[in-house]
Amino acid sequence: MTVSLLENIASPADLKRLTVDELPVLAQEMREFLIDTLAPIGGHLGASLGVIELAIALHYVFESPKDRIVWDVSHQAYPHKMLTGRLKGIPTIRQHGGLSGFTKRSESVHDVFGAGHASTSISAAYGLALARDLQGQDGHSIAVIGDGALGGGMALEALNHAGARRNRLIVVLNDNEMSIAPNVGAMSAYLSRVISGKPYAAAKDAAKKVLENLPGALEAARRLEEHVKGMLTPGTLFEELGLRYFGPIDGHDFQHLLPVLENCKSLSGPLIIHVLTRKGLGYTPAEKDPETWHGLGPYDRQHGVPITDATHVPSYTEVFADTLCELAEHNQQIVAITAAMPGGTGLSRFARQFPSRCFDVGIAEEHGVTFAAGLAAGGMRPVVAIYSTFMQRAFDQVIHDVCIQRLPVIFCMDRAGIVGADGATHTGMFDIAMMRMIPNMMCMAPSDEQELADMLYTALQQDGPCAVRYPRGKAVGVARHSPCLLPLGKARLCRPGEDALLISVGHVLNVARDAVQRMAEEKEKAVCLLDLRFIKPLDMATILQHAGTDRPVLVLEEGVAQGGVGEHIAAQLLQAGWRGRFAHLAIPDAFPTHGTQTEIRRELGLTSAQLFRRLCALLELSSEAEEETTHG
C-alpha cells in the first residue's frame, strides 16, 4: 500500500523534507482530503481549496512559529491547520469539541493570531513585527490577506502606518478575483523573481550610488522605475504607500511562488507579494459557484450539490428578503446596503429586482453605516443588512453618524444570538446591549416570521433609527399575511397566568412556550408569558401590570446578560417598588465555543428543559432531573 505524502506531515519540519517536485503531489492530496472530509460536515471549502499551494509554499520557505503567519480571514486557514499537526482533527472542524473553523491562539503555537472578522491581519502582523524589533528578536512577520479584506478600512490604515516606517513586514495579497492568463502570469512571475532577487537589488544599490553624484539623475531614475513598474504591474499604489511590490504571480505554481518568497526573505522594510489564486480550485462546483461554496453545510461530494433540508419553512433571512422586496415595490425611497454579504443577508434577491437601489460596500461596515446615514440625510430610506457580529465594527458610526442626528436608518441584524459552528467570533451576543443603550434608537426582536415582516414595515414608518435583530436558521412556520404597523413599544400577551411572569425576547418564544406549558401540566402553575417585541422602548406598564407587587419574574433572552434587556427590566421593577424574586436566563459573561446551535444552547442553559428548571427554582418547586433530549 502506497503511503501518502500528507499522512507523513505532522509539522512544517516534515514538509521541508519533501522535494520541490513532490509539492504538487502533496497539494493534490490535500485537495482531495478536504473535499472528501468536509462533505458530511460542511465548512469553508472554497476559500481553503484556493490557498493550498500558497499555504504549502509559506510553510516550505518560512519557519513557523518563529516566522509568524497571520491569516485573514482565517476561514482560509484549513490547509495551514493540516500542515501544522492538526490533520487528524480536520474531520472535527467547526464541530462541538473539535477544531475551530478559524485560527485560534489556544489551539496551536502556529496560530499566532485569531481572526474571524476581516481586515485585521496587517495591523496584527505589523504589531508582531514591531514587538519583534523592539525586543531584538529574529523572524519574519507575514500577513496573508484576501483581496476583499484588503478593501476594508482597517487594512488600508495598517498599510499606511506600516509603509511610513521601515520595519520588516511581508504582506501576501491573496487575490482570488482575477483570472490567471498564462502569458501575463509567466511574465509577471519572471519580473517578480528578477525584482526580488539579490542581483537586481545589488545593481539597484550600485546605480543609486553613481546617480547620487549627478544632479537630478537619481530622481529621474526613480520616476522611470516607478513608471515602468506602474505600466507592467498594479503595484503603484502600494509603492506610493511605502511598500515594495512584487507580482502578480500565479498562486498555484510552485515554480513561481517559491523563488519570490525565498528572495523576499532577505529584503528589508515592508513589502507586498500579490498572488493570484482561484477560489475552489480542484472541485468544479466550487469553481463555478464560489459564493455558494465559500462556506456551506454538508454536501453531496459526487454530484457537487449542497444537502438541503426537505422542509419548506423559510429562514428568517428569506422572510426579511421577501418582505423588503415587497415593500420596495411600493416605496421608491427604500435602498438596501450590505457589507460583502449579499447572499448571506438575503439581499441578492433585492439586487436582482432593484439593481440601482442595492449597494454592496465590501468589507467596510463603518463606511456602510455612514454611507446609509448620508442616504437618509438625502431623503432615502436605507436598510442596512449586516450580521449581528459584524455590526460591532460600526458601533461609533451608529452613534455618531446616525443616532445623534436621528436619521431614519434601519439596521437589520441577521444571525443574532447563537450562530453555531463559527463560534465566538460570529456569535451575535452583543447587539441587544449595544443598540438599546444608544439614545434615539428603537430596537425590536421578532418571535416569528410575521413579526419580522411587521417590524420591518413598522421601522419604515418611523422618522428615526431602528434596529431589528433575528436569528440564523428557519423561522417558526406560522401563516403569513401582509405586514402591518405594530403598536409602538407594546409587548404581546401570549398566555395569562398568576403564579409567575416569563418575559421572552425575540425568537426564544417557542422555548418559553414549551416551558410554560410543561409548568401547567406537571406543576399546575399558571405562568404569564409576554412576547416583549420592543427591546426599546420597553413596555414597562404591561410588565408591571403582570408582575404585580411581588410576583416572580424571569427574563429569557439570547444575548449577553451584562447590559442585556433583563438587567434593565430588573432595575425598572425595583425602582417601581416591586419586591418579588427575579431570574435572568441569558448568555453568561464568557465567549461561547463552537458547535451546533442546539449544542451551544444546551451548554448555555437556554433550552426549554433548563428554562423549566429555572422556573421551578424561582417558584421554589422541586424539579426532577430528566434527559435533555426529552424536553430540550
Residues with catalytic roles: 279, 365, 393
> Are 139 and 170 within 8 A, CB to CB?
no
CA 507/CA 22 separation, integer angstroms: 53
| Cβ neighbourhood burial of 138 (10 Å; 0-12, 13-18, 19+) | exposed
| Count of CB atoms situated within 10 Å of the CB of 399 | 17
> Are 427 and 418 within 8 A, CB to CB?
yes
> Are 452 and 446 within 8 A, CB to CB?
yes
Helix H or strand E segment including 154: helix 153-163
> Are 392 and 567 within 8 A, CB to CB?
no
The distance from CA 172 to its chain's CA centroid, rounded to whole angstroms, is 21
User: HSE (CB half, 13 Å, CA atoms) of 215?
Assistant: 0
CA 421/CA 311 separation, integer angstroms: 21
DSSP label at residue 119: S
Return the closest-CA partner of residue 474 out of 504, 507, 503: 507
> Are 196 and 260 within 8 A, CB to CB?
yes
Residues in CB range of 329: below 8 A, 6 or more apart: none
**What strands, in cross-sheet order, belong to the sheet with 270-276?**
68-72, 141-146, 169-175, 270-276, 244-250
| Cβ neighbourhood burial of 512 (10 Å; 0-12, 13-18, 19+) | buried
Q: Provide the grid cell at 244.
A: 515594495
Helix H or strand E segment including 306: strand 305-306
Q: Please tell me whether residue 128 adopts helix, strand or coil conformation.
A: helix
